Amino acid sequence: MNRALKTQQTSMKDIAKYEEQVTDEKGKPLEVQDKDYIFNLERQIAICRAAQESLARDYKDLQTKKASMLKDLKATREQRIKRLEDSKQTFIAWVRNLMSNPEVRHDMGIEMEKMRLATKAEEKRLSEYHQYEDKFVDQPFLTPDTVKDD
């Protein structure tokens, strides 16, 4: 969809440029005007307008497909809100369950600590120098904390 919009914008700019060239050429005296050039420019304008209409049609088709995909995935705003309302669980109820159930709190704490350790290990690995296939050596994860002084 974004590609179609970009192409349509380019087409609109081309039409404006061609129309400006036609206006400039028609502004010249009749004996100096190049009729073939004007005809060619007008043909280019017609081609761009036809392409623009085709792009608009394609964009509408893609938009329809996107809407149907979101509906099939139950990802529209209304469907997400309905799912939340139907779940019968609120954030406060979730926190209350977490505070009153020590086993859940313990399990969640262990999972969080594993995630923290895995994140640290991956950060350390990505902070080291890496040689890419094109023989270029660089640090994939570069922050002020991971910069090497060599």
Q: Among 86, 104, 124, which residue terminates a domain?
A: 86
Look at residue 145 and tell me if it is in a domain: no
Q: Do 32 and 66 reside in the same domain of the chain?
A: yes
The pLDDT assigned to 137 comes to: 86
Q: Do 78 and 101 reside in the same domain of the chain?
A: no
User: What is this structure's pTM?
Assistant: 0.46
Residues with Cβ within 8 Å of residue 99, at least 6 apart in sequence = 105
Look at residue 147 and tell me if it is in a domain: no
What is the residue range of 71's domain?
A: 2-86
Look at residue 148 and tell me if it is in a domain: no
**What one-character-per-residue DSSP string does 13-74 give?**
HHHHHHHHHHHHHHTS-TTT--HHHHHHHHHHHHHHHHHHHHHHHHHHHHHHHHHHHHHHTT
Q: Do 17 and 81 reside in the same domain of the chain?
A: yes
Check: CB of residue 129 under 8 Å from CB of residue 137: yes
The pLDDT assigned to 78 comes to: 80
Q: Do 130 and 71 reside in the same domain of the chain?
A: no
User: 64-74: per-residue pLDDT in tens?
Assistant: 998 888 877 77
The pLDDT assigned to 150 comes to: 63
**15 confidence band (pLDDT: 50, 70, 90):** very high
pLDDT above 90 covers a percentage of the chain that reads 35
Question: Is 54 a residue whose pLDDT tops 80?
Answer: yes
- Residue 124, classified by CB atoms within 10 Å of its CB into exposed (0-12), middle (13-18) or buried (19+), is exposed
Cβ atoms < 10 Å from Cβ of 132: 9
Q: How far apart are CA 102 and CA 90, in angstroms?
A: 19
